[in-house]
Amino acid sequence: MTVAYSATDRQISGGPDWTGTEPFDITAKAAHPCTLDELHVMLQRLLEDRFQLKVRHESREMPVWALVVDKGGAKLTPHDPADLDHPPLGLGPNRRGLAGRNANMNYFAFVLSRLLDRNVVDRTGLPGYYDFTVDFVRDPLPGARPEGGEPSTAGEGSNVFSAVREQLGLRLESSRGPVEFLVIEHAQKPSAN
């Protein structure tokens, strides 16, 4: 569900107990090349069909991290707009941080949401797609800091807040904003193929 609906685990609630405890392997293949958005919609339809999944969307005002352009300006390399290949963000060259190719800021904010203690909202105003690498060490105790405070640096290297500012010319600032939640209204276990 997190992939199909571009949501974090904390944004999904409701449904039978087994939805959070029983894993299912799903193997599917698109009939033709598709964009990421088209693949997400196809995966949503597959879940609706196989699991009889019914969800409703609900918006809640919550604390968020706002991704904004820092005062010195963004340090991102624009990607060729004709390139329709949008691979997922991966680990950086040192197997830490993130590396992106042909990624927009909304997707970068979503990936950061999965790493941090609250959702990240793209407020950069940067259109288009970019190539970038940001090297940081993950905080081992997310949530072990004051509300709205930046985490301490764990081990050697920058934390995500410092790295995003210094390496990408962007900043994560504490804010409030609407966060979309998925509420599972119905789901049933699928029959075997």
Domain boundaries, the chain: 9-186
Report the relative pairing of strands 120-122 and 54-69 from DSSP bridges. Answer: parallel
Residue owning tokens 């904390």: 10
pLDDT tens string, the chain, 193 residues long: the values are 988 898 999 999 999 999 888 888 888 888 887 777 888 899 999 999 999 999 999 999 999 999 999 999 999 999 998 888 878 888 887 778 999 999 999 999 999 999 999 999 999 999 999 999 999 987 654 444 445 555 444 456 789 999 999 999 999 999 999 999 999 999 999 877 6
Q: Which residue has the tokens 């210094």?
A: 166
pLDDT computed for residue 154 by the predictor: 43
Cα 148 to Cα 143: distance, rounded to the nearest angstrom: 10
What is the reported pLDDT for 156? 66
Q: Side-chain half-sphere of 45: how many Cα atoms within 13 Å?
A: 8
Give residue 193's pLDDT: 66
55 φ, ψ (degrees, to nearest 5): -125, 155
User: Is pTM, for the whole model, over 0.85?
Assistant: no
Contact by Cβ (8 Å): 70, 165: yes
